[in-house]
Amino acid sequence: MNATTPLTALQVMQDSPMIPVIVLNDVAHAVPLARAFLAGGIRMLEVTLRTPQALACIEAIAREVPEAVVGAGTVRSKADAKAAANAGARFAVSPGYTGAVGQACRDASLPLLPGVASSSDIMMATEDGFTELKFFPAVQAGGVGMLKAWSGPFFDVKFCPTGGVTLQNAPNFLALSNVVCVGGSWLVPANVQELGDWGRVTRLAMEIQILRK
């Protein structure tokens, strides 16, 4: 897979047991962090659009670490989707779903993992053709029990639970037939970026690989 290979949402989900949710406040941290994840076996990197530096960080990773597959998280609008694509993002993740965001991602050729928290959300997303979804906030919205309940009526939908997922409870989610991967921020502990402790990120990423089904 190279930087020009088109992706599907399912391919993004299948690459690793986990998609890290990354908040970057300093562009200087983007490239070493991406390389640390690669060293630990994780290529799909969700950089959230929660800081003024996020787009520049996506651009830096796309340019300097082409072996990684950088995506944009917290995509909430058409403008977010367009800006993410222009920065070099190769997939998008949203906290919720609207038809406008879905169409904007299609227009920008960005595979989208739309966020859903209810059966109505799932029906809206699948009606627009999205069958790989982010369950968010997973634990707060019903967790494993909710996903088990959805496996009947939404038998053709695959999920990436995110929100409250930890190394301890991730195996419970990954054991479900309708879960492909999980998302979480624990691979980037609060002080790692300030300390430049990239080796810790690599070690945590390697731990995740044992969670493979």
Neighbours of 4 (CB within 10 A): 7
Its pTM stands at 0.95
Give the pLDDT band of residue 212 (cuts 50, 70, 90).
low
Residue type (1 letter), 51: T
The angle formed by the CA atoms of residues 89, 2 and 46, to the nearest 5 degrees, is 30
Neighbours of 89 (CB within 10 A): 31
- Which residues are CB-contacts of 145 (< 8 A; sequence separation ≥ 6)? none
Domains along the chain with CATH numbers: 9-211 (3.20.20.70)
**171 upstream amide cis, omega within 30 of 0:** no
Is 140 exposed, middle or buried, given 0-12, 13-18 or 19+ CB atoms closer than 10 A?
exposed
The residue with tokens 């904007």 is 104
pLDDT (0 to 100) of residue 72: 98
pLDDT for residue 113 is more than 60 = yes
Could you list the active site residues?
46, 134
pLDDT for residue 55 is more than 90 = yes
pLDDT (0 to 100) of residue 213: 52
In whole angstroms, how far apart are CA 64 and each of 13, 33, 186?
A: 23, 12, 24
Give the pLDDT band of residue 210 (cuts 50, 70, 90).
confident
The angle formed by the CA atoms of residues 120, 111 and 52, to the nearest 5 degrees, is 95
